[in-house]
A and B are shown apart, each in its own frame.
Chain A
Amino acid sequence: MRRVGVALAAVALVALAAAGLWRASSPPAATEARRVDEVAAGLRCPTCQGLSVKDSSSQVAQSMRAIIGEQLGEGRTPDQVRTWFVGRYGSWILLTPESSGLGWLVWVLPVAAVGAGAAAALLVLRRRSTAGAVEEHDQEAVEEALLAAERGAIEIPGTPDGERLESSLLLLASVRADRSAGLSSAAAEALATQRVAGALAAARAVPSPQPGPQVARRSGRRVPVGLRWAGVTAGFVLVVSGVLAVNTAERGAGQLITGNLPNSDATPEMETGGSSTAGGDTALDGLRAAVAAAPEDRAARLALARALSDAGRLDEAAAEYREVLVREPEDARTRLLLAAALLQTGDLTGARTEVDAVLAAQPDDPDALLLSGIVQNRQGDPSSGTTLRRFLALAPGEHPGREVAETLLGADTP
């Protein structure tokens, strides 16, 4: 009676579960949004890395969803909508390959592989004939071996027979454990016991293993120890120095290989401090933050100043130059840069002061002379001619300022 009750309950449960599954399999109401989502989930967003149009929040994806919605609303089928996109982007836009061409391979290959694997596994698991009974004294030997193995006191030869003995002992132990947990049957234990008995017999039948040939030694004359060490050290030194030589060779700037996403063409700002490209504001902020983070860092501050002056913010550039000079008053180059900035803002007096300070320390500096000459010229100071001629006399032949000086001198002379 109880068995019937249990069986009935089981059948009822299965029926209920089947009903649940059947209910769950009915497709949900096809709203517009769902239809768009279904098509969008199969299309790839062109500007993203592999996301579907449904998942992506990018502008292009939003537009594509709108287009899909419109086309479905006009009565097109999902396939037609997909074909429309394929007509513009190629079959790349579909997230699963079309079956035309070789696309079907991607579906068939894995199924074939799993099928082949399952078949191979079943072949390996072929049924064996059931075993006969185990002899009495064999049974004792098995128990003894098992006990010894558990205590760690058994000696197992490292031969295939020994391997079989070891594994059969472990199997028997596992089967016994399963039995005491109520999982296994007497038949299984008998089979395992018989296996151990067979393995014991086979292991004892083989005479004690002879030491066979080792893995073949590399034959060769033994090189004296000292020479070997010398050779190793020399090899060391050679490798290290060769590597150093190769890698410390000067390398030009701008040869990026890695370090960026494929679609962001960022190049590190070489030399110019990042002022003239897009995002100039943010580059400036970056430099400003860098300066704020490291106020004593002259290079950073100079970079900021140069960026500012490139951006036309000369007053701020001048302020930065002054900050550098506060820390390093002897820095002639920076003082000249300050003078140039002041000159550009029209502060001739200030520029004159700075240039004169440099000339006081280095009377023959060509750049200072040039700048001084220009300032004096602007101020209408007649000594500008002398200064400029002095510059032309002292400046090297290819100094870029020569042309400026000559022009100014030429304009002066009536």
Chain B
Amino acid sequence: MKSAFGTLALGLGLAASLSATGWWVLTAQGRPTAARARLMTWLTLAAAAGACAVLVWALVSHDFSVRYVAENGARAVPLYYTVISLWAALEGSLLLWLLVLAGYTVLAMRRPHPRAASLHPWAMTVLSSVGVFFFALALFAGSAFQRISPVPLEGPGPNALLQDHPLMGIHPPLLYLGYVGLTVPFAYAVAALVTGQTGRGWVLVTRRWTLSAWTFLTAGVLMGGWWSYEVLGWGGYWAWDPVENASILPWFTATALLHSVMVQERRATLRVWNLALATSSFLLVLIGTFLTRSGVIASVHSFSQSAVGPILLGYLVGVLLFVGALFIWRADRLGPDERLDSPLSREGVFLGNNVILVGLAFTVLIGTVFPLLLEAVNGQRVSVGAPYFNRMAVPLALAMVLLMGVGPLVPWGIADPRQLARRLRLPAAVGLATIAALGLTGLRGVAPLLTFGLSAFTLATIAVQFASGTAAARSATGAAWPRALLVAIARRRRFYGGLVVHAGVALAAVAIAGSSAYGVEGEQALEIGESFSVGDYRATLVGIRPEQTPRRRAITAEVALSRAGRDLGVHEPALSFYPSMTQAVGTPSVETQADEDAYLVLAAVNDARTQATIRLAVTPLVLWLWLSGGVMVAGAVLAGWPAGRGKSRQVPVDRDRALEEVQA
């Protein structure tokens, strides 16, 4: 019965999104059908929510007659993991995708921006048509609700790795909120092309959508890194795995879009480029979801092959052709572009930012797809892994950190080199002093040293900006400096929010450089009572304990950790054996401190359980990476928080800056 309800919900969703598409098209052509279209869009959301609810209901009640539950459910799994096994496998995660998409569609429906009144129905049409595709995919190619017979009495449960950590409940929804959220800027870009209004209207509308999708995507990607670090047990947070790469590709283009629209607002230029960035973000989302769900590339995350793969590929190519045709058709509306004045200007910095970000996206895409490419050409099987990506991405990333520091200090229009140099003197000194101090006191490695120096430079420029803004506010209002700081931020929230995000990125760069270059580790087979040291730390094997829970059989090593004599407690890395997996799953134990992490892994245990091979890795600055994610999200929230319109201000308004704020 649940199968029928679920299938009915999906069918209803398909029908509703089909008719929504139709009604929105009619609305776009001026017919008074908006109310019906809205009703259909609400119905789509109800259908998607209903399908998810039915599947969760089936999972929780262990209804093994539903195929998805038979493949992913088990009676012994705790309730929390049973509920989140909604997205443990392909069909269920499709339902989550549909829910998020329908939610965004409904949100996009409310209160169209006055500047985009004629874009809105077309954008809604595009959103509904994307919904049609995914509902059809969920219904016909990857239906979770098919009944199976005979009904099994027990299922294998979700993948063991997905039952290990509660973060599994947050990471995919966050990631989907970011990923699917990029559909809205795409929809507006297509609407702009279709209506020919490629001016500022679509840019204004999508700015907040792009920013919020970007925020969720950043949080989701960082959470994924945290999960990889805490759960997978290899000691790292980013493996340049194809699915990880797929999730970060749209992040690059979305970041580029957020910056280059600022150029389009002040110069009637870069229209084609911005439209291309918005549509490429969605195409990269499709490529990413194709790589994840088609099973053509081996990855920790990927699902195995099914009919979903070719269908997604077909859709991807179809969207590519459609968008390309739109561009070619509307080529006459996309120019002529205003000429820019000078490479040394804010516009120039933003263009440089775009080149670097799109270059990064291209590099990661080529590296990820290269094995497939070679296989298509001459059947050769090759691997492209971390060494390649690190070597290609690091120089680009460093250039980006440099631009992040310089950019806010470069004025619009034309910069005076001498003036610029004067402003950059102090931060440059800070950066150089950092390099000198660290290098001369024995730190090794040119790339990390450069990273530290550039990040110090960037953080110094950000501090200078905050200081000068506070000083200006203080002289304007006479308030004390804490309040002056708040006033300054309130006046130019987007600017200061952006600065906070930049600070977060610089912090992340420092953390990444430190943790990848200066980790030390050691591995040793220990008898009970023996110990070994790595750096400051001493790990002593205190005991080996077998454990049996209904879900798994585990062997836990009890390891006492101390640092320079100070006791850090007893840690319990484990090896788990799940009935459905052929290899043991290692669970690490991490001691997180402000300056470094001590990471313990149980690599092997002998038969008699008297000896355990323990691996201890000491990695600096890992905590800073997670904190930097928080800083980035905070900055984005600060920048994007909707301002009350027409709010009366207590302080005399800075006339020129007010104009920028009013543009929102």
Contacts and interface: CB of A to CB of B under 8 A. Distances in A.
Tell me, yes or no, whether A and B come into direct contact in the complex with CB atoms closer than 8 A.
yes
B347 interface: yes
Interface string B543-555: 0000010111100
Given A121-B352, A183-B423, A262-B302, A97 B384 contact: yes
A125 B340 contact: yes
Nearest to A93: B383
Interface in A254-275: 256-271, 273-274
A409 interface: no
Interface string A303-317: 100000000000000
Q: Which of B269, B295, B359, B436 gathers most chain A CB within 10 Å?
A: B436
A261 B580 CA distance: 10
A251 B7 contact: no
Interface residues of A, number: 141
Interface string B438-471: 1110111110011001000000000000001100
Contacts of B240: 50
Interface in B357-383: 358-359, 362-363, 366-367, 370, 373-374, 377-378, 380-383
Contacts of A290: 75-76, 154, 550
A174 B11 contact: no
Contacts of B347: 125
Given A44-B385, A259-B72, A268 B12 contact: no
Contacts of B139: 243, 247
B11 A239 contact: yes
A270 B416 contact: no
A8 interface: no
Interface of A: 10, 13-14, 16-17, 19-26, 28, 41-42, 44, 47, 49-52, 55-59, 62, 90-98, 101-103, 105-107, 109-110, 113-114, 117-118, 120-122, 124-128, 146-147, 149-150, 152, 158, 160, 163-164, 166-171, 173-185, 187-189, 191-192, 214-215, 217-218, 232, 235-236, 239-240, 243-244, 246-248, 250-253, 256-271, 273-274, 279, 282-283, 285-290, 293-294, 299-300, 302-303
Given A185-B416, A279-B579, A51 B388 contact: no
Contacts of A94: 382-383
B110 interface: no
A253 B343 contact: no
Contacts of B469: 181
Contacts of A183: 409-411, 415, 419-420, 423
B651 to A, nearest CB: 15
A21 B450 contact: yes
A175 to B, nearest CB: 5
Interface string B398-427: 000000000001111111100110010100
Given A122-B343, A258-B89, A262-B298, A182 B154 contact: no
Interface residues of B, number: 167
Contacts of B419: 182-185
Contacts of B383: 44, 50, 92-97
Given A14-B432, A125-B343, A178 B304 contact: no
B11 A167 contact: no
Contacts of B299: 49-50
Given A110-B366, A170-B266, A192-B413, A248 B4 contact: yes
Contacts of A58: 583
Contacts of B200: 163, 166-167
Contacts of A191: 341, 413-414
Contacts of A171: 266-267, 412-413
Contact of A236 (B15, B29, B420, B553): B15
B374 A102 contact: yes
Interface string B72-92: 101110000000000011110
B382 A268 contact: no
The 3 A-B residue pairs with the shortest CB-CB distance in the complex, in nearest-first order: A20-B439, A289-B550, A95-B385
27 contacts: A19-B436, A44-B383, A50-B383, A57-B603, A110-B359, A110-B392, A113-B363, A117-B358, A121-B352, A128-B341, A173-B660, A182-B423, A192-B412, A243-B10, A243-B14, A247-B145, A250-B149, A251-B146, A259-B88, A261-B159, A268-B70, A268-B71, A268-B154, A268-B156, A274-B154, A282-B579, A285-B550
Contact of B303 (A14, A97, A176, A258): A258
B152 interface: yes
A244 B378 CA distance: 45
Main secondary structure of the interface of A (DSSP, over half): helix
A97 B370 contact: yes
A97 B382 contact: yes
A267 to B, nearest CB: 8
A3 to B, nearest CB: 12
A288 B4 CA distance: 31
B551 to A, nearest CB: 7
